Amino acid sequence: MATSFTRRTFLKTTALTSGLFGAAEADSADAHFDILIRGGTIVDGSGGKPFRADLGINGDRIASIGPTGTFRGRLTLEATNRIVSPGFIDMHTHSDRTLLSDGLAHSAIRQGVTTHVVGNCGSSPSPLGAPATVKGQRLSTYGDFLAALRRERTSINVCGLVGHNTIRRAVMGTQNRRPSPAELRQMQDLVDEAMRSGAVGMSTGLVSPPGTYSETAEIVALARVVARHRGLYASHIRGEASTVIDAVKEAIQVGREAGLPVEISHHKAAGRENWGKTRRTLPLIEAANHAGQRVRVDVYPYHAGSAGLAQLVPPWAHEGGRGAMLARLQDPVQRRRIARDMIHGTANWPNFFKIDWDDIQLTTVGAVANRKWVGKKVADVARSRKCSGVDACIDLLIEGRGGVGMINFIMDEREVQQVLRHPLSMIGSDGTAVSADTARGMPHPRYYGCFPRVLGRYCRQLKLFPLETAIKKMTSMPADQLGLRDRGRLRIGHAADIVVLNFDDILDRATFAAPHQYPTGIDSVLVNGTLVINSGRHLETRPGRILPPQRPRPN
């Protein structure tokens, strides 16, 4: 439902935001706009040069961009010496469930992020094999999930991907086999329901069961359903380590055969023995684009990733689900085989890399007795218990019933910068919207600092790219990839998702040792024409919407 910035809404907002940075109220009879952002330097998202102008907003839309000092607003935000840009679009998040329980999305909106793309890496809260309650919401279909988000109301916009792993599990469980023709049709029907309900596409997680058990033909068959709805294929590809080159080729193949855009998630080369391989994958992606395909990548500005610790267990040991995996870990004979495969790999394990247990930091542990190890390395546990790193890892998984998280320091910083700088890359945090007041464990700092880190460290300090390029990677590029024709650029008639920031001050504060810290430098954030953040304060407004793609998709 469109946001109407009525006089009553304005007075309520003014009362909530007394003490706003540079805010002033004008008599409504003299005002040209509901909100005027005055005197800022516009970086419009297109990649063009910055320019100084006033920006007027009426309702949920940008109504004017023009010479400064010309207009009046009911509420004026003084933006002199500030950058005014489109709201940032996070191309890769896992906020599906947290937004159901806490729609305020503190760690996202305080970075200037106004839209989250959820449902990545093949995982979404639905569809489910049978109705279930997720975060207090009764879900079965993907439409149920989107309806639950609308009821919860969120401070940020949401674009939803339906997860292939979730679909396969709903139809086939975690069996390592091809689907029957009837099962494939059932999976296609679930994809169709999701797309008709408002999903922007489908994601795969081809390193995690049951997605890792699927063949390319299965993915293509489902992606063709997405293509009929002009959706997107986003993939945590089938290996980011030794097989990363072939995995990129497979993602491109899926897009080519199904006829839809491709998003390669958190592109990297994992493991020291694989560093440098993006020098071969990026040309493959360039060639696909030159051949007429639309293939993009997203990347986060850190040399460490994060996942479940169970991802270090070979795929064969996951068949049948978490309970079956834990049973195998506790069986002495199978445990020895698992440990051997974790150290040496297997012929059909696409995401294997050589593990240094000092590079694996624990984020959550599952077991209360192991909470002292949160923030420590698996090697620390091994040294304390006087056992090998692989035995410490297996024991932690058993003790935590599989619910153990990790940060893995597996990337080369120079290669991270290479991917960040590439013209076909955009920014995705791979994080989750949480609140520093209630979040548990020690998650990856990307939850809180991804976008300010790009602007502060890589743009301002290291000068990896100009400001207008950094902003483009966060705004118009993801909007075009998602088919959001009225987002990602500051243009008259576009949705008023807007960030006012201090480029001289913006910087991430979250660290691997102390992640629960919001960044500096974000003054104001508006979502659909409504103030959500000002002077570092969350106003607890919830103007976010579910954003389906607006077809046709731009070229």
Delineate the domains of the chain, giving CATH numbers in brackets. Answer: 88-97+113-125+159-303+410-482 (3.20.20.140), 308-408 (no CATH)
Q: Is the pLDDT of residue 340 over 60?
A: yes
Instruction: Give pLDDT, residue 77.
Output: 97
Residue 211 pLDDT level (bands cut at 50, 70, 90): very high
Cis peptide before 210, with omega less than 30 degrees from 0?
yes
Q: Is the pLDDT of residue 4 over 50?
A: no
Mean pLDDT over 208-219 rounds to: 96
Instruction: Give pLDDT, residue 31.
Output: 66
Neighbouring C-beta atoms of residue 208, cutoff 10 Å:
21
Residue 24 pLDDT level (bands cut at 50, 70, 90): low
Q: Where are the alpha helices (DSSP H) in 322-412?
A: 322-330, 332-344, 378-385, 389-399
Instruction: Give pLDDT, residue 22.
Output: 54
Q: Is the pLDDT of residue 173 over 90?
A: yes
The pLDDT > 70 percentage for the chain reads 93
In this structure, of 225-234, 340-349, 356-365, 383-392, the range with the lowest mean pLDDT score is: 340-349
Instruction: Give pLDDT, residue 353.
Output: 85
Instruction: Give pLDDT, residue 26.
Output: 52
Helix axes 378-385, 389-399, angle to 10 degrees: 100
Residue 489 pLDDT level (bands cut at 50, 70, 90): very high
Q: Is the pLDDT of residue 237 over 90?
A: yes
Q: Is the pLDDT of residue 424 over 50?
A: yes
Gap between the terminal Cα atoms of the chain: 29
Mean pLDDT over 56-69 rounds to: 95
Residue 554 pLDDT level (bands cut at 50, 70, 90): very low
Tokens of 125: 């809260």
pLDDT tens per residue across span 122-152: 999 999 987 777 777 889 999 999 999 999 9
Would you call 69 helix, strand, or coil by DSSP?
Answer: coil
Residue 552 pLDDT level (bands cut at 50, 70, 90): low
Q: Is the pLDDT of residue 8 over 90?
A: no
Question: Positive or negative, the Cα torsion across 221, 226, 230, 231?
Answer: negative
Distance separating alpha carbons of residues 515 and 477, to the nearest angstrom: 28
Residue 135 near residue 95, CB atoms below 8 Å: no
Residue 518 near residue 529, CB atoms below 8 Å: no
* Bridge partners of residue 137, in order along the sequence: 134
Residue 536 near residue 520, CB atoms below 8 Å: no
pTM (two decimals): 0.93
Residue 550 pLDDT level (bands cut at 50, 70, 90): confident
Residue 398, φ and ψ in degrees, nearest 5: -65, -50
Q: Which distant-in-sequence residues (6+ apart) come within 8 Å of 361 by Cβ?
A: 304, 375, 376, 377, 406, 407, 408, 409, 442, 512
In this structure, of 125-139, 150-164, 308-322, the range with the lowest mean pLDDT score is: 125-139
Mean pLDDT over 467-485 rounds to: 97
Q: Is the pLDDT of residue 509 over 70?
A: yes
Instruction: Give pLDDT, residue 281.
Output: 98
Instruction: Give pLDDT, residue 16.
Output: 37
SS3 string, 290-326, reads HCCCCEEEEECCCCCEEEEHHHHCCHHHHCCCHHHHH
pLDDT tens per residue across span 266-297: 999 999 999 999 999 999 999 999 999 999 99
Distance separating alpha carbons of residues 186 and 129, to the nearest angstrom: 11
For 144-153, the CB contacts below 8 A with 24+ separation are 145/96, 146/197, 146/198, 146/199, 146/546, 148/100, 149/99, 149/100, 149/103, 149/546, 150/546, 152/99, 152/100, 152/101, 152/103, 153/103, 153/542, 153/544
In this structure, of 14-18, 39-43, 330-334, 418-422, the range with the lowest mean pLDDT score is: 14-18
pLDDT tens per residue across span 433-456: 999 999 889 999 999 999 999 999
Mean pLDDT over 18-38 rounds to: 66
| CA distance readout (Å), 326 to 114, 117, 329 | 40, 32, 5
Instruction: Give pLDDT, residue 171.
Output: 97
Residue 244 near residue 277, CB atoms below 8 Å: yes
Mean pLDDT score across all residues of the chain: 92
